[in-house]
Amino acid sequence: MARTKFICGNWKMFKTAGEARELVRQLAPLMAGLARRTVQVAIAPPFTALASAAEAIAGTGLELAAQNVHWEAQGAFTGEVSAPMLKDLGVKHCIVGHSERRQLFGETDASVAKKTRAVLEAGLLPIVCVGETLAEREANETMAVVERQVRGALGGLSAAELRTLTVAYEPVWAIGTGKTATTAQAQEVHAVIRGLLRELGGGAADEVRIQYGGSVKADNAAELLAQPDVDGALVGGASLKAQDFVAIVKGALR
């Protein structure tokens, strides 16, 4: 089935509120003529820039994503932000389980599952990240790791819930390194993820977008996005420059 390609820019810990407004101002005219029916585009600024980005994207067709969330709706969790709080700001999508959060902030399959559920309960759309480290790939553990992460995060969800989410396959060795998975490597893992989703949710698997992430750039985007199970991209570094990000979006239109 035809799935609308979905490109999301993960700005990580870059851009103040004012800088976010400026980047959206640069993106808007570049996005203007693009065929909106065939590609969906979101940006994920840091929490502190969400409000200014929400204002700035009005009328541009861009959607707003958050980079992380707590699994409770409210409570004594100093420093955390909840899904209803994000929704209130105009956020539509939420990245969950990014490898930087798993590696640097101790997130586990169990916490990713709780966050995914909280995002869905708030009426937001999760982008659930999975992917193996270099050591795991070299030890031939890629599929086992991805299977554990997919089942761990999504195992408890209904087919109706699965249908609404996006999975981002992001090999850790490709994130911010300039190394990209080959199209064959990406398609191979995406097809395995699609098979797991089919086990979990039957026909809903055909509606789930599976993004690739890991050093996606203007010059490799179109080829990756042409693979049958690559339904979009989660873009880090290249999403911080308007021209580079829009060139990737254009790669989804070919």
Contact residues for ligand PEP, defined by CB under 6 A: 10, 170, 175-176, 213-216, 234-238
User: Shortest Cβ distance from residue 135 to ligand PEP (Å)?
Assistant: 18
Closer to ligand PEP by Cβ: residue 213 or 251: 213
Q: How far is the CB of 127 from ligand PEP (least distance, A)?
A: 10
Instruction: Between 152 and 214, name the residue whose CB sits nearer to ligand PEP.
Output: 214
DSSP 3-state of 14? coil
| Nearest residue (CB) to ligand PEP, 47 versus 72 | 47
- Shortest gap between Cβ of 72 and ligand PEP (angstroms)? 25
CA dihedral 13, 17, 23, 28 (to 10 degrees): 130
Q: Which is nearer to ligand PEP, 51 or 218 (CB)?
A: 218
CB 185 → ligand PEP: shortest distance, Å?
15
Taking only Cα atoms into account, the Rg of the chain, rounded to an integer number of angstroms, comes to: 17
Residues 129 and 133: their CA atoms lie apart, in Å, by 13
Q: Report in angstroms the alpha-carbon separations of 10 from 44, 65, 143, 209.
A: 5, 8, 25, 17
Catalytic residues: 98, 170
The length of the chain is 254
d(CA 65, CA 41): 10
- Smallest separation, CB 231 to ligand PEP (Å): 15
The CA-atom distances, in angstroms, between 133 and each of 42, 55, 94, 218, 250 are 26, 37, 23, 24, 29
Q: Are strands 5-10 and 209-213 parallel, antiparallel or unpaired?
A: unpaired
What are the tokens at 176?
Answer: 């911010």
175 vs 204, beta carbon nearer ligand PEP: 175
Measuring CA to CA, which residue among 237, 128, 224 is closest to residue 176? 237
